[in-house]
Amino acid sequence: EPEVTQTPSHQVTQMGQEVILRCVPISNHLYFYWYRQILGQKVEFLVSFYNNEISEKSEIFDDQFSVERPDGSNFTLKIRSTKLEDSAMYFCATKTSGNIETQYFGPGTRLLVL
């Protein structure tokens, strides 16, 4: 069964450094999302992406964050200058089309900012 994959599984970085989290969506899926879960809290929406542009972003997704699909397969989340409070699990999710609501999640990247 096709799966969403994410790399790396863990990332430790120093505050102020840039990180890039990568996701490979399920091949026929057209809609892409990033969510995050701070330890002990609920899963929160960050951004949705369709047709090579952002569809919606949350207030968490400020100017330090960006997304792109550089090569038509990978979907990346970049955090330009990490802060301590960016430490969380980051999940990529994808869905096939606009009238299907079910999103399928990757295994996540655990980001720790020191």
Partner 1 sequence: DQQVKQNSPSLSVQEGRISILNCDYTNSMFDYFLWYKKYPAEGPTFLISISSIKDKNEDGRFTVFLNKSAKHLSLHIVPSQPGDSAVYFCAASVSGTASKLTFGTGTRLQVTL
- Residues lying near partner 1 in the complex (CB under 8 A) are found at 4, 6, 31, 33, 35, 41-45, 48-50, 55-56, 58, 89, 91, 93, 98-99, 101-108, 110
Pick 16 or 108: Cβ nearer partner 1: 108
Distance CA 65, CA 50 (A): 17
Token pair belonging to 91: 């999940």
Toward partner 1, which CB reaches closer, 50 or 64?
50
Task: Tell me the closest approach of the beta carbon of residue 105 to partner 1, in angstroms.
Answer: 4
Q: How far is the CB of 81 from partner 1 (least distance, A)?
A: 25
Beta-ladder partners of 5: 24
Q: Which of 60, 41, 50, 40 is nearest to 103 (CA)?
A: 50
Q: Is 35 exposed, middle or buried (0-12, 13-18, 19+ CB in 10 A)?
A: buried
Q: Minimal distance in Å, beta carbon 35 to partner 1?
A: 8
Nearer to partner 1, 15 or 38 (CB): 38
Three-state DSSP at 106 gives coil
**Other CB atoms within 10 A of residue 40 CB:** 5
Instruction: Between 20 and 30, name the residue whose CB sits nearer to partner 1.
Output: 30
